[in-house]
Amino acid sequence: MKRAIGIALCLVAAAGLAFAGDKVSDLDGTSWKIDVSPDGMAKEKGEKEFHDTITFADGLLVTSEGPKLGFGSASYTPARSGDKDWSFTAQQESEGQGKYVWSGTVHQGDMRGKMVWTKPDGTVLTYTFHGDVKK
């Protein structure tokens, strides 16, 4: 059921973007292999490094690992931060796991940024990530 709702939301978002006529940014249509590392406080709470893939498609940020915890796709906000550079932010939410807030920058084939996970009990875990465009 959750998957059907997620697909329906993606279709609605895609239809809205198609009506708008343009892709959201140069990030749209790209995928990135990233390594995500917990900061010191998150490590103390038992968090581990993990690998993920971020995909930007039709104005949405999708991660490969997020759905395992109930985090679906989310709109992202791009901003040009140089002639060929981009920055972005996105917030993914999970009914049982809280929210992820992603913020990052892209310079050519390199992505770097921060992900903050706020759990339902108020615990805040901070991670850094870096990676390359997926070819």
Domain range summary for the chain, segments of one domain joined by +: 2-133
Strand partners, 93: 99
Domain covering 2-133: architecture = Beta Barrel (2.40)
In this predicted structure, what is the pLDDT of residue 13?
A: 44
| 17, pLDDT greater than 80 | no
Sign of the CA dihedral running 132, 129, 30, 108: negative
What is the average pLDDT across 1-21? Answer: 42
- Mean pLDDT value of segment 7-20: 39
pLDDT at residue 3, rounded to an integer: 53
Please report the pLDDT score of residue 19 as a whole number: 33
Q: Do 118 and 26 form a contact (C-beta atoms < 8 A)?
A: no
What pLDDT digit, counting tens, does each position of 20-77 carry?
335 578 999 999 999 999 999 999 999 999 999 999 999 999 999 999 999 999 999 9
CB 120 within 8 A of CB 104: no
